[in-house]
Amino acid sequence: MNILSPVIEKSAALIPIHLQIKGAHVFQKVKKGIVKGKPIPVFKESPIPDVESLAIEDIDVSNPFLFRQNRWQSYFKRLRDECPVHYQKNSPFGPFWSITRYEDIMFVDKHHELFSAEPIISIGGQPEGLAIETFIAMDPPEHDLQRQAVQGVVAPKNLKEMEDLIRSRAKDVLDSLPIDEPFDWVQEVSIELTSRMLATLFDFPYEDRHKLAYWSDVAASSPEATGGTGSMDEAFTVAAEVAKQFSKLWREKEAKKSAGEELGFDLISLLLANENTKDLIDRPMEFLGNIVLLLVGGNDTTRNSMTSGVHALNQFPDEFIKLKNDPSLIPNMVSEIIRWQTPLAYMRRVAKEDVTLNGQTIKKGDKVVMWYVSGNRDERAIDQPDQFMVDRKNARKHLSFGFGVHRCMGNRLAEMQLRILWEELLKRFDNIEVIEDPKYVQSNFVKGYTQLMVKITAKPS
Amino acid sequence: MGNITFIEHNGNQHSVDIEEGKSLMQIAMDNGIPGVDADCGGECACGTCHVIVDNNWIGTTGNVTKDETLMLDMTPEKADTSRLSCQISTSEDMDGMIVRLPEFQM
């Protein structure tokens, strides 16, 4: 458990949060040097073997190279077919259960009284000394109050207000893309658009928007939580930076509020306007937690869906033709992209009591991982699940947003951003051709792309 | 056979036949009522089949479970007579019932 949080909480009123985080960083460094705290796992990449060569109990889907090497489909298919509720007892993240079929995942996600989201939703724990508190990792009733305070920022009513701004910012990006020459879609489109979006949501200084994407990447890439490529030093430096910049933003908006000025519909203004969260800054780990949750939630997910749409339409060229012939399919395709990609591969729970599921007994206290990425390819629930179909029936029936009280709060924002992107793309471009195999993220949690080289052809005018 | 009227946020009305025992959500889906998504397929787990039942009819729609309340609390358009239509089992007692759809499903 994190021993520093209570200290930080108490001193919050006196010492700025970012200086406290720096203090905690020094403490962790010293501790690692002297008493050798929990070691941070080191992941060395080696080729992933053919799943058929492994005994079922040796299958470890927490391997952070499974997505990176694009070997995940056969692994999850074998688990779904042979051992849908699977126990891996020796992973680098400790023992855990994998839930791999659609119906079983729905069961776990729905039953928050049996499966707790605390203390965190990644397979591994948070970096020592940096245990932020976020409502995605809280159970009712605390969860409900915190979520209600912030969900207005991404509520459809608020989004309607923002649609024009988001569209005009998207147009700027697309109008400046190089034509008929190779470029990286991830950098030039997906990251750029999501950074602009986040800056809009947070009312963050627009010229500093690229920091938001960088911070989010660092926050989601801790090796102990997800097998990512981050380092402890980077995590602490970024946490301190996020705390500093967002405290500043908070104080500015607070001053506006005190002066009787009208507050906007950005995240911090909404937090300041809500009785339960107006003093959130005095609870630094919670403050930081909410910011980081919205950063990561609004970043990796949409970014990777923006990339995967292009990738999918290149793998299924007939679907691209179908789409071009009928752009009214865009909203349906957006849901299909989100299913096909599943940008966050899973959410983790802990059993609150012994639970029998599909013949296996999960013991109280065991970690339970709901592999959305597998449920979304479950032949039992979804017709031809590996096919990408822009006109799929019931395309909204997918697990990527989760179900139950933790269902994705930003789902409508994500759908809107993707819809706008594709509406504007189809107006401008005749083709978006993938010219190299994509490169994928190292992580067991973020299922995403680091690079997708493309060449675009303009529409004949 | 009785019927139930859905009123969209823009005022459009749709009258549908009651099919005793079927959920109101399923009836909406079968009749293609716009504005009901029902992403989870009737599991009380997504909140996208939200309807606002007319005051005079709320008594006929049965009890609200704790889980339904939790899901409804997540939508900013929640009203006093909000229900998830997947949790309402229809019966002939509901002949003439009016339900309104919110502007957005969450």
Q: Is A204's pLDDT higher than 70?
A: yes
Q: Does B70 touch chain A (CB under 8 A)?
A: yes
Cα radius of gyration (chain B): 12
Check CB contact under 8 Å for A140 and B70. yes
Secondary structure class of B2 (helix, strand, coil): coil
* pLDDT score recorded for residue B79: 95
Check CB contact under 8 Å for A155 and B76. yes
In which band, very low, low, confident or very high, does the pLDDT at A4 lie, cut at 50, 70 and 90? very low
Q: Does A155 touch chain B (CB under 8 A)?
A: yes
* pLDDT score recorded for residue A3: 43
In which band, very low, low, confident or very high, does the pLDDT at A34 lie, cut at 50, 70 and 90? low
What is the mean predicted confidence (pLDDT) over A31-48? 75
- Spell out which residues of chain B touch residue A403, defining contact as CB-CB under 8 Å: 40, 43, 45-46
Distance CA A241, CA A128 (A): 18
Shortest distance, CA A151 to any CA of chain B (angstroms) = 8
* pLDDT score recorded for residue A33: 59
In which band, very low, low, confident or very high, does the pLDDT at A38 lie, cut at 50, 70 and 90? low
* pLDDT score recorded for residue A442: 96
What is the mean predicted confidence (pLDDT) over A225-236? 88
Positive or negative CA dihedral for B68, B74, B80, B85?
negative
- Spell out which residues of chain B touch residue A152, defining contact as CB-CB under 8 Å: 76
The tens digit of pLDDT for each residue in A322-343 reads: 999 999 999 999 999 999 999 9
In which band, very low, low, confident or very high, does the pLDDT at A289 lie, cut at 50, 70 and 90? confident
Q: Does A111 touch chain B (CB under 8 A)?
A: no
pTM over 0.80: yes
What is the mean predicted confidence (pLDDT) over A138-165? 85
- Spell out which residues of chain A touch residue B40, defining contact as CB-CB under 8 Å: 106, 397, 403
* pLDDT score recorded for residue A1: 36
Q: List all residues 6 or more positions away from A192 whose beta carbon is below 8 Å from its beta carbon.
A: A173
Nearest 5°: CA angle at A176, between A172 and A182?
A: 140
Check CB contact under 8 Å for A397 and B76. no
For residue A230, give both structure tokens. 């981050």
Distance CA A210, CA A248 (A): 18
Average the pLDDT over each of A267-271, A390-394, A423-427, B100-104 and give the range with the smallest value. Answer: A267-271
Question: Nearest 5°: phi and psi at A265?
Answer: -105, 20
Q: Is A12's pLDDT higher than 60?
A: no
Q: Is A161's pLDDT higher than 90?
A: no
The tens digit of pLDDT for each residue in B24-68 reads: 999 999 999 999 999 999 999 999 999 999 999 999 999 999 999
Q: Report yes or no for ipTM above 0.85.
A: yes
What is the mean predicted confidence (pLDDT) over A149-168? 83
Q: List all residues 6 or more positions away from A153 whose beta carbon is below 8 Å from its beta carbon.
A: A201, A265, A266, A267, A270, A294
Shortest distance, CA A420 to any CA of chain B (angstroms) = 18
Would you tell me how many other CB atoms lie within 10 Å of the CB of residue A80? 22
Calculate the average pLDDT of chain A. Answer: 90
Positive or negative CA dihedral for A259, A264, A265, A267?
negative
Minimal Cα distance from B74: which residue of A? A148
Top-confidence residue, B6 or A269:
B6
Q: Smallest Cβ distance to A147: which of B43, B47, B74? A: B74
What is the mean predicted confidence (pLDDT) over A16-44? 70
Q: Smallest Cβ distance to A404: which of B41, B45, B106? A: B45
Average the pLDDT over each of A51-60, A263-272, A377-386, B46-55 and give the range with the smallest value. Answer: A263-272
In which band, very low, low, confident or very high, does the pLDDT at A234 lie, cut at 50, 70 and 90? confident
Calculate the average pLDDT of chain B. Answer: 95
- Spell out which residues of chain B touch residue A109, defining contact as CB-CB under 8 Å: 45
In which band, very low, low, confident or very high, does the pLDDT at A236 lie, cut at 50, 70 and 90? confident
* pLDDT score recorded for residue A434: 98
- Spell out which residues of chain A touch residue B41, defining contact as CB-CB under 8 Å: 397
Q: Does A405 touch chain B (CB under 8 A)?
A: yes
Choose, out of B25, B29, B39, B49, the residue to mutate when testing the contact with A (most A CBs < 10 Å). Answer: B39
For residue A47, give both structure tokens. 């080729």
C-alpha dihedral, A73 to A78 to A79 to A83, nearest 10°: 170
The tens digit of pLDDT for each residue in A349-368 reads: 999 999 999 999 999 999 99
Check CB contact under 8 Å for B45 and A397. no
Check CB contact under 8 Å for A397 and B41. yes
Scanning the structure block, which residue is given the tokens 């793309």? A425
* pLDDT score recorded for residue A437: 97
Scanning the structure block, which residue is given the tokens 């688990």? A79
Interface size A-B, in CB pairs within 8 Å, comes to: 51
Q: Is A381's pLDDT higher than 70?
A: yes
Q: Smallest Cβ distance to B104: which of A106, A157, A403? A: A157
